[in-house]
Structure 1
Amino acid sequence: MSYLRYVRLIGTMHVSPQSREEVIRTILSERPHAVAVELDRARFLAMGEERRLSLEESLRFGRRGLVNYVLAKVEEKLGEEFGMKPGEEMKAAISAAQLLGVPLYLIDEDIGVVLSKILAAPGREKLLMALEALSVFLPVKSGQFSDPMEDYRVMMLQFKRRYPYLYRVLVEERNEIMARNLISIVDELRRRGIRKPRVIAVVGLGHRPGIEHILNNVKLR
């Protein structure tokens, strides 16, 4: 019996209103023993801060600050296109867990470690990422995304081909970390006397298949 039996993963687009609604509906209807989200402590605390650093302020933190600024702008631009602030589905999961009174777990890798890995990317991938990042600051044509979920899957495949190193550290390695944390959550719930724990994990759409594969191949201890 694998750990996947006790964990249900909701794969979301971080800027999709449909994802937020699915998260709320699923958690409240299934009433799990625990909820897990694709966040680390730093990002969890930052979600309560409405103000983002300006480019000038970000540059004071060096290359890490610049990378963080560009990533934030990417999410902001997509949020404008889909009519939703980035991270709303994570906030919905947190609120639903609080409403049910069940534990909330942060299962993602520390953002500082993630940024260090990004900065260690090969020169070719850094240059390509810098060039493509320029398009983030250009207007996005309305109606460009006919099927957001399908477009997201295509974007992930393209990202894997163009950025093999970044795909490994941003997707595959984080899949392993989040799966390992979910295994620990199930084990903890069972130690507390819950024979058949139910855990709902809210993660990005691109992470769901990899995490499910890992959980399905680890036998229950």
Structure 2
Amino acid sequence: MNYLRYVKLIGTMHVSPRSREEVIRTILEERPHAVAIELDRARFLGMERNVELTLEDSLRMGRAGLINYALAKVEEKLGETFGMAPGEEMKAAIESAKLLGIPLYLIDEDISVILSKISSAPFREKLLMALEGLSVFLPLGKAEIGDPMEEYRTMMVEFRRRYPYLYRVLVEERNEVMARNLMAIVDSLLARGIKRPKVIAVVGLGHKPGIERILNGRYFYMEK
């Protein structure tokens, strides 16, 4: 079945105000049967309680925690450049779903599983990530930014080239998890007698093409 007929993905840049506006506008205009977001339960609760990952917390979590902390700091730095804190578009989706009384689904892989996979990254990728993460703390002037979405796409290509293992676990494997969860949501709506279910899914721009390929039936996930 082509699940893409029932799912509309909004590919966002987590630090772009334009993405937040698109999320709100699309949900309010489409009024879907379900809204799905790129979060798991732990990160959802952390966002709801406004809990931030500190360096102290990261140290307690070991190497995987430190890499996750570096990634978070990179997003914060990007937020300063683009004018929006990371995750604001997810909060916008949550609030829009609440406003309209639409069921909200958390479709991302469990963060503990992701961190476990990160800890198994090759030493070269860990070292490179640590070195690049340190540069986030250096006082640098603002760079000239063109089209934010184009910049983000370029960054994703570069990330895949420099970190093939981390790209696989942070992007490709999570694409599979989120696509399967979206399929389950559609199946549930169809089983309830909704003939043309409509699901809006808010995911990072880097996840959108891969998830769409899976939902469109052009990719077959093999159980490991």
Task: Please tell me the TM-score bracket, short chain as reference.
Answer: over 0.9
Cα distance 1:140–1:194, how it changes in 2: closer, same or farther (>3 A)? Answer: farther
Report sequence identity in percent: 75
Contact 2:38 2:107 in 1 (8 A): yes
**How many Å apart are 1:159 and its aligned residue?**
0.9
Distance 1:143 1:163 in 2: 24
**How many Å apart are 1:51 and its aligned residue?**
4.7
Distance 1:143 1:122 in 2: 31
Alignment of 1:27-176 (within 5 A): 27-176=27-176
**What is the CA deviation profile of residues 157-203 of structure 1, one whole-angstrom value per residue up to 9, with x for unaligned ones?**
11111111111111110001100000000000011110100000000
Q: Which consecutive unaligned segments of at least 5 residues does structure 1 have?
A: none
Q: Which consecutive unaligned segments of at least 5 residues does structure 2 have?
A: 220-224
Distance 1:39 1:170 in 2: 13
Provide the aligned C-alpha RMSD in A.
1.6
TM superposition score normalised by structure 1: 0.94
**What is the CA deviation profile of residues 49-86 of structure 1, one whole-angstrom value per residue up to 9, with x for unaligned ones?**
33524323432333233233222211211111111111
Partner-residue secondary structure (3-state), 2:11: strand
Distance 1:27 1:166 in 2: 32
Distance 1:204 1:111 in 2: 16
**How many Å apart are 1:140 and its aligned residue?**
4.0
Partner-residue secondary structure (3-state), 2:48: coil
Contact 1:3 1:218 in 2 (8 A): no
Contact 2:73 2:133 in 1 (8 A): no
How many residue pairs get matched?
A: 219
Partner of 1:19: 19
Distance 2:138 2:130 in 1: 14
Partner-residue secondary structure (3-state), 1:201: strand
Contact 2:67 2:126 in 1 (8 A): no
Distance 2:56 2:103 in 1: 38
Partner of 2:222: none
